[in-house]
Amino acid sequence: MKRVLMVMAVAACTPAAMPDAPEGAALFAENCIMCHGVTGRGDGELAQGMKPAPSDLTRLSRNGVFPTERVLSHIDGYTRMDTQPEMPEFGLLLRGDSVPVELEDGTQSPVPRPLAALTAYLESIQR
């Protein structure tokens, strides 16, 4: 019995599997394609006439490095401070169990799973 409890305790401490791009693609389809378009290039149904125009999300990487921290903060709404009122603040929508996300400097940060999934998808569509 003691051994079973120990195994259960260890299992409870192991981190959840990281979300993958398909999980994030579903969130993107639900929340982002109206403005950013199906391909993420900023050509969604509502994009015409928006000022500023929706970003091309396929060109976020610079010098081969995906800006994870900037993307997380922007989607969450933390860094925008309403400077882009057309872009909804998704922080409250993307709540959930936290998963560790590796940042550009190699550190890890706990991030709600839906936000991590959406970020994984955006990283997967970089060109």
Q: Alpha-carbon distance 53 to 47, whole Å? A: 6
Q: What is the pLDDT of residue 15?
A: 54
Q: Is the pLDDT of residue 4 over 50?
A: no
Q: Alpha-carbon distance 41 to 54, whole Å? A: 8
In a domain, 16, yes or no: no
Q: Alpha-carbon distance 119 to 127, whole Å? A: 15
In a domain, 45, yes or no: yes
pLDDT tens for each residue of 75-100: 887 665 555 567 777 777 778 899 99
In a domain, 10, yes or no: no
Instruction: Work out how many domains the chain is built from and give that number.
Output: 1
Confidence label for 20 from pLDDT (cuts 50, 70 and 90): very high
In a domain, 100, yes or no: yes
What is the span of the domain harbouring residue 120?
21-124
In a domain, 114, yes or no: yes
Could you tell me the pTM of the whole model?
0.81
In a domain, 54, yes or no: yes
CATH (domain of 53): 1.10.760
In a domain, 13, yes or no: no
In a domain, 8, yes or no: no
